[in-house]
Amino acid sequence: MTEPVLSVRDLRVEFDSRRGTLRAIDGVSFEIARGEVLGVVGESGAGKSVTGAAVIGLIDPPGRIAGGEIKLSGRRIDDLPPEELRRIRGKRIGVIFQDPLTSLNPLYRIGDQLTETIRTHLPLSPSAARQRAIDLLAEVGIPAPEKRIDAYPHEFSGGMRQRVVIALAICAEPELIIADEPTTALDVSVQAQIIALIKRLGRDHGTAVMLVTHDMGVIAETCDRVAVMYSGRIAEIGPVRDVVQEPLHPYAKGLMGAIPTLAGDAPRLAQIPGAMPRLSAIPPGCAFHPRCDYAFGRCRIERPEPLQHGTQQVACHLFDAHSTEHAA
Amino acid sequence: MLAFTLRRVLQAIGVMIVVGALSFTMFRFAGDPISQIVSQDASSAERAEIRKSLGLDDPVLVQFGRYFINAARFDFGMSYRFREPVAKLLLERMPATLELATCATVLAMTLGILLGVYTALRRNSFLATLLSAVSLIGISLPTFLIGILLIYLFAVVLGWLPSYGRGDTVRLGWWTTGLLTTSGLKSLIMPSITLGLFQMTLIMRLVRAEMLEVLRTDYIRFARARGLTTRAIHFGHALKNTLVPVITVAGLQFGSVIAFAIITETVFQWPGMGLLFVQAVQNVDIPIMAAYLLVVSLIFVTINLIVDILYTLVDPRLHAGAARRT
Ligand SMILES: Nc1ncnc2c1ncn2[C@@H]1O[C@H](COP(=O)(O)OP(=O)(O)OP(=O)(O)O)[C@@H](O)[C@H]1O
Ligand code: SF4
Ligand SMILES: [Mg+2]
């Protein structure tokens, strides 16, 4: 039971381009336990989606997993043949993408998309699969599911469509759900409902959830742990309370400064000046050093490795025992 | 849906009235019909007599009305040259053209879709690259040249297929078909290829482009994330979404296939409407030319209408859109 549902060790993902190999993910490690929600935050291009795609084996050429290992409930899956990986996708790992408007095939009734997925993964008769589809639609909160099952995607609102997408993701009772910005494309008014639904489903079924989002409020409310990504690496990872209230990594501090705090103390680093480097121009040493207020000599030369610091893991020289003299 | 259909039907009728006016103008004003009918040495009194009997002295609008009512009853007047009703001549030739055009279209669709899907799914293979290159040639070679090359190879050199004509035909009511005899089928092969080749390359390139486009969409990515089999994704989701625009285009092309049949029919001396039209041009047989214009336009417009209505039936979004708009 102590085996994490998902365990990623030293993952590296590379894209071959005309101008050489670009490393989009560079040594990412994390775990998600049963029933746990891991939030993943970071600026656009940090590698959140690529990490999710790597876990489900959907890195398309010219990209490839260049190193590391991915384990699902203790069994390695990153080296499986494509056909076996396909059988895991949708069955043991459910995926929710950002835009429900484009995630569903416009020419298929949602019932057909559901039963097709169900029957791909479970040995059910067409009528049993249809019944399961109706139950799933009811579970994700679609009213009158036995009628709506025969509707086409365009007949649903954005929020309802995302519920259908969620029903598709959970239709074979997956151990892990990867939700990549599931509410970014939705109306603000329905965002909270969708997040609550994902959280409830995760809790009810003991599913591990990897929740990628830009919304620090969602992280604070929904997640058990949070990983802050920067330039293809995890800058800091730890329990949500600690990372949000007492971020250690200078980049995480900058991000958290963007959340309005109850105490009302004005965040000093509300935004971080500058932009994340492109993959082709990642600086040596710590990728964050050109933007970091605390950067010192070593940061420009040596790359900081993630080290345990209290409940958190931080990749920053400030928290390395060898450079205590610089600690903040 | 009903209102949409009705509106489209009204549009189609509007188009036909315009074409009718064109056809009438050609019928009435391209050359003097009298001089085509009577002999050189007829007296002016005789001419006036005939002019009157044909109603050529009536006001133009009356003449147009009469022409239109007649045309609606498929009465296009007499051919100057054959001294027979134009409608009868066209009707005799129509089965040949329609069979040829249908065969060419079926051939073009089948091969075009198969090759298009293949070149899209295996786009980096040698064969796919070769096919794409060859299809470019197919699109740029003139029809008559392909026809002549085929005749030279399969009729003259190898002697496998007849070089001209329709072979033996069987009568089914007013329809004559070449599909039931061996010689009829053999005769159909080369003209169908010649006529269908352009459409085939067009459809193949269209299918390839559409399919690649569809394969990049989010719903295909999501289908993969759901663990559907490659077969279900490629030949279910991707193909269905690809075929909607492709079938529309192919359907709309059927009209041009009939129009282009003029060249193919000339090369193969295929006894269809196109050949009749070409002969009519040579003989300045205006009633046939005018009627051909009308009949081919009617086929064109009817097909457009059917395709439009089918399209809304296939794509549920348009279906709802049409319903909402009304
Ligand atoms: N197919 C690809 N080819 C080349 N580079 C890619 C490809 N897909 C992603 N990348 C690169 O990988 C890096 C990480 O991208 P990713 O999509 O994971 O970012 P993200 O953190 O999800 O950002 P966002 O918040 O915008 O979704 C980016 O620099 C991106 O340019
Ligand atoms: S390693 Fe240096 S540059 Fe990087 S975050 Fe820490 S202090 Fe800043
Ligand atoms: Mg992303």
What does the pLDDT look like over A98-108, one tens digit per residue? 888 899 999 99
What is the average pLDDT value for chain A, to the nearest integer?
Answer: 88
Distance CA A298, CA A264 (A): 35
At B39 the pLDDT is 66
Query: Do B228 and A104 lie within an 8 Å CB cutoff?
Result: no
Q: Which atom of ligand 2 is nearest to the CA of A294?
A: 7
Domains annotated for chain B, with CATH where assigned, are 86-282 (1.10.3720.10)
Q: Give the mean pLDDT of A53-70.
A: 91
Residues 243-272 of chain B whose Cβ lies under 8 A from any Cβ of chain A: 244
At A47 the pLDDT is 92
Q: Give the mean pLDDT of B220-232.
A: 93
What is the average pLDDT value for chain B, to the nearest integer?
Answer: 83
Query: What are all long-range contacts of B179-188, with beta carbons under 8 Å and residues at least 24 apart?
Result: B179/B99, B186/B161, B186/B162, B187/B161, B187/B162, B188/B99, B188/B100, B188/B103
Looking at beta carbons, which residues of chain B come within 8 Å of A97? Answer: 218, 221-222, 225
**CB contact, 8 Å: B227 with chain A?**
yes
Q: Which atom of ligand 2 is nearest to the CA of A300?
A: 3
CA-based nearest residue in chain A for residue B222: A103
At A321 the pLDDT is 67
Query: Do B221 and A87 lie within an 8 Å CB cutoff?
Result: no
Residue B120 phi, psi dihedral angles, 5° rounding: -75, -45
Q: Could you identify the residue written with the tokens 């169908």?
A: B192
At B317 the pLDDT is 67
Distance CA A241, CA A263 (A): 15
At A323 the pLDDT is 54
Q: Ligand 3 centroid to A90 CA: how many Å? A: 19
Encode B129-185 in three state secondary structure: HHHHHHHHHHHHCCHHHHHHHHHHHHHHHCCCCCCCCCCCCEEECCEEECCCCHHHH
CB atoms within 10 A of CB B239: 18
Looking at beta carbons, which residues of chain A come within 8 Å of B217? Answer: 102
Residue A215 pLDDT > 70, yes or no?
yes
Residue A270 pLDDT > 60, yes or no?
no
Edge-to-edge, what's the strand order for the sheet holding A37-41? Answer: A93-96, A176-180, A208-212, A37-41, A225-230, A233-239, A312-314, A307-309
Looking at beta carbons, which residues of chain B come within 8 Å of A102? Answer: 217-219
What does the pLDDT look like over B91-136, one tens digit per residue? 888 888 999 999 999 999 999 999 999 999 988 888 888 888 888 8
Q: Give the mean pLDDT of B276-289.
A: 86
Q: Which pair of structure tokens corresponds to residue B238?
A: 């991707």
Q: Which residue has the higher pLDDT, B135 or A57?
A: A57
Residue A260 pLDDT > 60, yes or no?
no
Q: Give the mean pLDDT of B271-284.
A: 87
Q: Which residue has the higher pLDDT, B17 or A92?
A: A92
CA-based nearest residue in chain A for residue B215: A105
Residue A328 pLDDT > 60, yes or no?
no
Q: A47 CB under 6 A from ligand 1?
A: yes
Report the candidate in B53, B6, B1 with the shortest Cα–Cα distance to residue B305: B6
Q: What's the DSSP call for residue B237?
A: I
Q: How confident is the model at residue B165 (pLDDT cuts 50, 70, 90)?
A: confident
Q: Which residue has the higher pLDDT, A262 or B87?
A: B87
Query: Do A117 and B316 lie within an 8 Å CB cutoff?
Result: no
Residue A77 pLDDT > 80, yes or no?
yes
Picking from A96, A105, A136, A173 by the largest number of B CB atoms within 10 A of its own CB, the best residue to mutate is A105
Report the candidate in B98, B128, B105, B106 with the shortest Cα–Cα distance to residue B115: B128
Q: Which residue has the higher pLDDT, B78 or B32?
A: B78
Residue B142 pLDDT > 70, yes or no?
yes
Residue B321 pLDDT > 70, yes or no?
no
What does the pLDDT look like over A119-167, one tens digit per residue? 999 999 999 999 999 999 999 999 999 999 999 999 999 889 999 999 9
Residue B242 pLDDT > 60, yes or no?
yes
At B324 the pLDDT is 39
**CA distances (Å), A198 to each of A35, A119, A169, B25, in order?**
11, 23, 11, 71
Range of lowest pLDDT (A31-45, A286-300, B62-76): B62-76
Nearest ligand (C-alpha, residue A304): 2
Q: Which pair of structure tokens corresponds to residue B66?
A: 């009469």
Looking at beta carbons, which residues of chain B come within 8 Å of A104? Answer: 219, 222
